[in-house]
Structure 1
Amino acid sequence: MEKPIGVLDSGVGGLTVVKSIQKILPHEDIIYFGDSKNVPYGNREEDEIFTLTMAMLKYFEKRNVKMVAIACNTISTIADRFRDKFDFPIVDIITPTVNHIENMGIDKMVILGTDFTIRTKAYEKLLRERRKDYEISSERSPRLAELVDRGDYKSREIYDTIGGHLESISQMGNFYNIVLACTHYPIVEDIFLELDPTLNYINPGFQQAKAMRMILHEKGILKKEGKGSLQVLTSGSPEIYQMVLNKLEMRDVGEIKTVEIPPYLE
């Protein structure tokens, strides 16, 4: 039996990554875990994020996965703390996005992300390792991921929050490229486009899925036939996951289950 791929996130946002994975890796079986019980991660301290993520990784280890995708920018900022603790490859979402920015010759951009992602300057540090002359601004959002996780995508609150960020970005100068540096944000990309269709919104999940395909191919563990499956698990309520799956027009998903995973004890 083929081993599945594990995908983890603090909530529903990583389903945007799953959608890209299904497009690029259509034959792979996927187990998704969203830790909605503890969302949002972006307002937590690093050690707490590490402990919560280790619990998810340990769970995937017991499920005998062949790879784990960290479908969360906040967790990806500390991915180096996990890599040498497991036998399977762990693919963060930031490095493939930086590779894409470099390959596309993008010179200036705004990073829109959670408090933690912006505070760590993870994108900026990695970009400047490649080139010193990038023009990078950042916009932190302490609330947008949490609003997305509520599932009310027509609320005035979510429109006002996104509109406020776009107004703030417009005052930074002549920026065209906006990195949606939280996997929750592409769920409401239609609102971004509605409020300002002139900007280029970069979705890191698509770049992560391409990186995953390359690693699986190089390791000789890429599944090349059969219909891939998707199992969605969460520590919280399953209803919001069904709403997001519907919004993303993702089909052929089995029962969405609430599961309790053991806490990580060092």
Structure 2
Amino acid sequence: MDKRPIGVIDSGIGGLTVIDSIQKILPSEDIIYFGDNINVPYGNRQEEEIYELTMKMLKFLEKKNVKLVAIACNTISAISKEFEGKLNYPIIDIVEPTIDHIIKSGIGKIAIFGTEFTINKKVYEKKLKERSQNMEIFSIKSRELAKLIDQGKFDSFETVECLKDRINAIKESGDIYNVVLACTHYPIIEDLFYKIDSNLNYINPAIHEAVAVKHYLKDNDMLNTEGKGNISIYTTGDVEIYKKVLKKLNLKKAKKIKVTYL
């Protein structure tokens, strides 16, 4: 048994969807979360800057003695290989487990909906094509949606119109049923996705990353199976938005929510 906490990082509040999934299958695990809200969204930044900002979060969690870090950000996951061998704990990104799920499901046509960086980097497209050359992949990006969600505008007119526009773009791309929500902010407003179009199947990568975390900890005898896990949140932004999202996702109250500058 390993009672050290699990670390989770994201550019903002989106990674709370990963915490939601982890807690459902690993209720005894303590979780330390870091959200770099002051710099959200990472998806509109250059790769070198994303690397530098991410390394600061990872070093912070290293000092907190975490046993593993889940990268709850598709943008950061696109460059996750750059962090290998530079920290004293393993890293699980959010992309690979989602790719495994898509391939195992036998999906032949899919839309990837994410931030500019994730889509421009073609991280999903390349990995899917490596394993299924005949798969039809349509990519849709948004520069605004993650930021709107991070500002707590879950059902504002601006958010609704932005999402309607992007869902229409997905539908105009072809006869598509499966859509990957390739930004962890998006599942926070999953109810809005279904309200706008309930005929699409929205794939939430947070669920598949949580399963991958469980498998890794179990395979390496690192599970904590005693007690009720707690959440500690650190952010470079406003603590109130975290309280709002915790409530929206019906997550337990955080042990602490603290503003921390890296």
Provide TM-score, normalisation by structure 1.
Answer: 0.97
Once the 2 structures are TM-superposed, how far is the Cα of residue 255 of structure 1 from its aligned partner? 2.8
| Pairwise CA distance, 1:204 | 0.1
Secondary structure at the counterpart of residue 85 of structure 2: helix
List per-residue Cα deviations over 1:109-146 (Å, max 9, x = no partner).
Answer: 00000000000000011111111111100001111000
One-letter identity of the residue aligned with 2:6 = I
Query: Do residues 113 (structure 1) and 114 (structure 2) align?
Result: yes
Q: Supply the AA of the counterpart residue of 2:5.
A: P
SS of aligned partner of 1:102? helix
Gaps of 5+ in 2: none
Which structure 1 residue ranges, 4+ long, deviate > 2 Å from structure 2? none
C-alpha distance in structure 2 between counterparts of 1:193 and 1:72, whole Å: 22
Aligned to 2:220: 219
| Superposition CA RMSD, Å | 0.9
Q: Distance in 2 between matches of 1:105 and 1:237?
A: 42
Equivalent AA in structure 1 for residue 34 of structure 2: F
2:125 corresponds to which residue? 124
Cα deviation digits, residues 52-73 of structure 1 (max 9, x gap): 0000000011111000000000
Q: Secondary structure at the match of 1:84?
A: coil
Instruction: Tell me the alpha carbon deviations over residues 166-185 of structure 1, each in whole angstroms, 9 at most, x when there is no partner.
Output: 11111111000000000000
Q: Secondary structure at the match of 2:99?
A: helix
- 2:230 is matched with which residue? 229
Does residue 1:94 correspond to 2:95, yes or no? Answer: yes
CA distance in 1, matches of 2:162, 2:243: 24
* CA distance, structure 1, for counterparts of residue 20 and residue 78 of structure 2: 22
Note if 1:175 corresponds to 2:158.
no
CA deviations on 1:155-210 (whole Å, 9 max, x unpaired) are 10000000001111111110000000000000011111000000000000000000
CA distance in 2, matches of 1:256, 1:18: 14
AA aligned to 1:87 is N
Query: Where do 1:25-40 residues align within 5 Å?
Result: 25-40=26-41
Contact 2:155 2:192 in 1 (8 A): no
In structure 2, how many angstroms separate the alpha carbons of the residues matched to 1:45 and 1:252? 35
| TM-score of the superposed pair, with normalisation by structure 2 | 0.98
Equivalent residue number for residue 259 of structure 1: 260
* 2:137 alignment partner in structure 1: 136
Identity %: 52
Shift of 1:154: 2.2
Aligned length: 261
Which residues of structure 1 form unaligned runs of 5+?
262-266
Partner of 1:12: 13
